[in-house]
Structure 1
């Protein structure tokens, strides 16, 4: 049961991604053709491959990570603190800094990673981008040969499904029904491309990513039946 897990053993996280280049025309001819093939099912006849390119960030083969935000609990004498920090800048540095955090503070068997839809998106995306950049996978992301119960990942979407695999519940919807402040009060995922490439406002993306990370932790607390975090318990470091 998740109520028996030690909150201090869990690293909560969220990532923000964008297409690897600003414009479809910036891709070489081969990559353009590959994108046209890869995206055909999703865009159908409604969009050309070029018009659909602003959504390329959701595929690790055509996107890149611009921010990873993490949060973790520190509990001393029943005083609870949730510390949030972010890695942003050039993608190889983001990935190496995140890996170093895992190796230095979250490398033990008891440690777990938690994200919303993390098993379908965040965790495999980070792993794929590490391999693309020739960064050796840390143990927490290397799933080769692991049995399902050995995978050190928690997913609030999966926990909310209670075995019902036909339904997707967004982070925004889940925070709403659980009475948690929405993290989508400035931008949402569909606007990250514009904010990053056209407005060059990485700080807004970092803030958004950190709010999502906090929201994941809040959902996890609600699923455990614990009290939600108050603002004075959240520390940005």
Structure 2
């Protein structure tokens, strides 16, 4: 006890807060959202959304903690903070009454990044992005012939309606397909130098072949790829995709469900919000049928090099079947470079004029 006040108790993870009875607690967390407001009486406050690998929790800073309010106002989404707080409940849910908050110092005692960002953090710790652009490539996860008859018939019917390609149908379903390549990079990088690709090697690739991959390709299992993605998303201030609300994110959520991996960041919430997930396709179409609006078409219209000149999605499964994972990763990487270029144009000419950006 210092100066008659009880020493705060450190809580290693947010899911253990309610197990503690101490009046003051401390913990590390990543900031998911910061919203400033005022009460009807004009008192300022800050609402926080905080998270680690175990849970998300709401935080509140009242004006009697003015230093904490000032600190919170300058935080970005994805920042890691140390909290001093009281554990309270509001409308039946846990809420942290935050008394103090600060960003971490170098080599912060007691801080474990894995506890905040999850098991995938070590694989991407040196390539975290504030403005994360990503894209995935998928293939069938199993042989259709091994599936139950009801599944085979469902795939066959769907393939007939879509043009007869059963492999394509399977590769587009998170229940029947798998992610074999996830390319990601910082949106402000204008070349592919900073774009990394997590790849799931074809089964026939041995250790020698994997060791020969280019340095920007990192071989992982699909569960490791998924864990790494959620760590990247948890750290990012904004996650940027092209049509990611329709395909990439639901696919990753579905595959995470299959593998029992928590989908720890909500990237499918309010479809009109620009953060945490900025889907450029939705920004350009606003959900209206405006004719073809593929990434290839947008790149052509804006004078941006298209990744579709050398390959398209229909060629991914055959390339994987013959073991050409580097071809897939190169194509995936170019998708990210193109998406980042579209983002920079949209940010400069559209987003900076919007109040919600």
User: Is the shorter-chain TM-score for this pair beyond 0.5, marking a shared fold?
Assistant: yes
- The equivalent residue for 1:231 is none
RMSD value over aligned CA atoms? 3.0
Distance across 2 between alignment mates of 1:74 and 1:175: 17
Q: Deviations over 1:122-161 (max 9, x none)?
A: 11111111011000111244x5xx5556662111111111
Q: TM-score scaled by structure 2?
A: 0.51
Give secondary structure in 2 for the equivalent of 1:15.
strand
Structure with a larger share of its residues in strand: 2
Q: Do the aligned partners of 1:20 and 1:64 also contact (CA within 8 Å) in 2?
A: yes
- The equivalent residue for 2:333 is 210
Q: Do the aligned partners of 1:95 and 1:126 also contact (CA within 8 Å) in 2?
A: yes
Q: TM-score scaled by structure 1?
A: 0.74
Q: Do the aligned partners of 2:138 and 2:316 also contact (CA within 8 Å) in 1?
A: yes
Q: Do the aligned partners of 2:242 and 2:280 also contact (CA within 8 Å) in 1?
A: yes
- The equivalent residue for 2:59 is none
- Structure 2: unaligned runs, 5 residues or longer: 1-75, 78-128, 201-220, 350-357
Matches for 1:150-169 after TM superposition, within 5 Å? 152-165=276-289, 167-169=291-293
- Structure 1: unaligned runs, 5 residues or longer: 227-237
Structure with a larger share of its residues in helix: 1
- The equivalent residue for 2:233 is 102
How far is the alpha carbon of 1:73 from its aligned partner?
Answer: 4.2
Which among 168, 185, 208 is matched to residue 71 of structure 1?
185
Distance across 1 between alignment mates of 2:340 and 2:152: 35
Distance across 2 between alignment mates of 1:116 and 1:216: 7
Give secondary structure in 2 for the equivalent of 1:67.
strand
Q: Do the aligned partners of 1:16 and 1:68 also contact (CA within 8 Å) in 2?
A: yes
Distance across 1 between alignment mates of 2:310 and 2:319: 11
- The equivalent residue for 2:176 is 62
- The equivalent residue for 1:12 is 133
**Bigger radius of gyration:** 2
Greater relative contact order, per chain length (Cα 8 Å cut-off, separation 6+): 1
Equivalenced residue count is 202
Distance across 2 between alignment mates of 1:208 and 1:61: 24
Distance across 2 between alignment mates of 1:82 and 1:72: 10
- The equivalent residue for 1:117 is 243
Distance across 2 between alignment mates of 1:102 and 1:188: 26
Give secondary structure in 1 for the equivalent of 2:198.
strand
Distance across 2 between alignment mates of 1:187 and 1:81: 17
Distance across 2 between alignment mates of 1:91 and 1:80: 27
